[in-house]
Amino acid sequence: MGILSVNAGSSTLKFAIYPLQDGEVQPALLSGSFEGLEPKGQMQLSWTSGTRRQQRELAAGNDPFAQALVSLSELLETEGKALRIEAVAHRVVHGGAHFRDSVLVSADVLKALQPLCPLAPLHQPHNLEGIRNFMRVLPGLPQVACFDTAFHAHLPEVEYAFALPKAVRDEGVRRYGFHGLSYQFILGELRRHGAPASGRLLMAHLGNGASLCAAREGRSIATTMGFSAVEGLMMGTRCGTLDPGVLLYLMEQGWTHDRIQKLLYKESGLLGVSGLTADMRRLRDSDSAEAKLAIDMFTYHVVRESGALTACLGGLDVLAFSGGIGEHDARLRADAAERLAYLGVRLDEQANARATGNEVLPIHAADSSVQVWVVPTDEGRVAAQDAARLLALPANG
């Protein structure tokens, strides 16, 4: 039997099927995504099975989501991997103060999660709508919500508290942290490969969404994202940390809530600075001054915040890169490592060049005081394992 792990967006559904063996979730047998699930969209299915990657266009019909699930079932059968799906594990970005671990979804759970949508507008509404769709189309199947905030649930108060009056803090206005499923996976992979992950560990999840996490003894002690998924590092289309006075100024100039939200989440970051794209690969290929500035700013803020989190750790034993940019952009890793040389970070140039996101690899030089790793993340696998644990599924189907 297996677990279906999904990440629902506004018009996409990413999925992976994970078999269970000896009580543990195994690597995905099948993974892919549906795109074009919006009304009147052109639905397309892309998937990977083993080393084969394929795609095809589909007729969405009147209910694109239901049709996507039909197509997924057919895909399982044609690929010869017709596992019995025991549960669906959903990535949910924000769990707020109440949800500190994965939870079996009910109507009450969905109701409690809905007020958190403004804190992660690019993700949370679509995550919840995805759960509702699965509950509608597959009413007998357990649905499990797995939260990106849960890994940071035990941050020390000096880290999570804002310097605001107690009455405001008591309303849940605090730092939560995100990318927790990714950090949980990175931590497990580092341990599996023999890295001293229980020491002073800095993890960098760098992609369209980006953050850093400092962990000690396997627990998050500081992270760059906070109350919402817009704080911290510069990202693909998100600005990262911004002086609140800028927002007050824009309000004084007549900017509405929706206009400001769009600016912060969809028009800033690499896209906003470059005026070209949020895709780091395209920026690398561009010779425009704005593209170079965007890359330089992204790298600078990774280094700047790495220094801050290293100070929280009191030093650094292990540095791990992950996420779309962290796994694939050797130039960024090299530039960041060069600027962190004062901490004893040294890269092996050939190892760094070989690390292309296909496997877990150490990339530090022999004389490096800090171990440096590239760890391709798999948030879906963590969610699937949480679902299996929560539902106490037997070891083998």
Among candidate residues 63, 101, 108, 148, the one labeled active-site is 148
In a domain, 175, yes or no: no
Q: Are residues 142 and 237 in the same domain?
A: no
192 domain-assigned: yes
Query: What is the dihedral angle through the alpha carbons of 336, 338, 344, 346, rounded to the nearest 10 degrees?
Result: 100
Element (H, E) at 205: strand 200-206
**Residue 144: both structure tokens together:** 């499990």
Q: How confident is the model at residue 64 (pLDDT cuts 50, 70, 90)?
A: confident
The tally of domains found in the chain comes to 2
Taking only the tens place, the pLDDT of each residue in 292-316 is: 999 999 999 999 999 999 999 999 9
For 144, 174, 263, 273, 376, the CA distances from 158, given in Å and listed in that order, are: 31, 11, 30, 33, 31
**283 CB-contact burial (10 Å; exposed 0-12 / middle 13-18 / buried 19+):** buried
If pLDDT is split at 50, 70 and 90, which confidence band does 38 have? confident
> Is residue 253 domain-shared with residue 187, that is, in the same domain?
yes
Question: Higher-confidence residue: 231 or 84?
Answer: 231
- Same domain, residue pair 196 and 74: no
The model's pTM? 0.93
Q: Is residue 202 part of a domain?
A: yes
The tokens for 356 are: 């292309």
Domain with 46 in it: 2-147
Distance in angstroms between the alpha carbons of the first and the last residue of the chain:
4
98 is in an annotated binding site: no
Instruction: Please tell me the distance from the alpha carbon of residue 123 to that of residue 117, in angstroms, as a whole number.
Output: 8
User: Average pLDDT, stretch 46-66?
Assistant: 85
CATH number of the domain enclosing 264: 3.30.420.40
**Which pLDDT score, from 0 to 100, does residue 396 have?**
45
- pLDDT reported for residue 82: 66
Helix (H) or strand (E) holding 183, with range, is helix 180-192
Bridge partner residues of 220 (DSSP): 215
* pLDDT-based confidence at residue 76 (cuts at 50, 70, 90): confident
Looking at per-residue confidence, does 41 or 378 come out higher?
378
Known binder of ligand: residue 80?
no
- Indicate if the pLDDT at residue 49 is higher than 80: yes
pLDDT value, residue 295:
98
- Residue 233, marked binder: no
Do 123 and 192 fall within a single domain?
A: no
281 labeled binding residue: yes
Say if residues 154 and 219 touch (Cβ distance below 8 Å): yes
Pick 394 or 93 by higher pLDDT.
93
pLDDT of 329 strictly over 90: yes
245 annotated as ligand-binding: no
pLDDT in tens, 353-390: 999 989 999 999 999 999 999 999 999 999 999 999 99
Say whether both 38 and 108 belong to one domain.
yes
Whether 152 is covered by a domain: the verdict is no
Question: How do residues 131-178 score in pLDDT, each as one tens digit?
Answer: 999 999 889 999 999 999 999 999 999 999 999 999 999 999 999 999
Helices 244-252, 257-266: inter-axial angle, 10-degree rounding:
140
pLDDT at 289: 98
- 227 and 96, same structural domain? no
pLDDT at 393: 63
Q: Is residue 395 part of a domain?
A: no
Same domain, 46 and 139: yes
Burial 301-310 (b: 16+ CB within 10 A, else e): bbeebbeebb
Give me the pLDDT at residue 66, please.
86
Same domain? 311 vs 247: yes
β-pair partners for 12: 35
Note whether 336 and 199 are same-domain residues.
yes
Compute how many other C-beta atoms are within 10 angstroms of the C-beta atom of residue 259. Answer: 13
Looking at per-residue pLDDT, the higher value among 56 and 195 belongs to 195
Alpha-carbon distances of 333 from 115, 193, 319, rounded to whole Å: 38, 20, 10
CA atoms of 226 and 94, how far apart (whole Å) = 11
- Do 70 and 116 fall into the same domain? yes
258 is catalytic: no
pLDDT of residue 397: 43
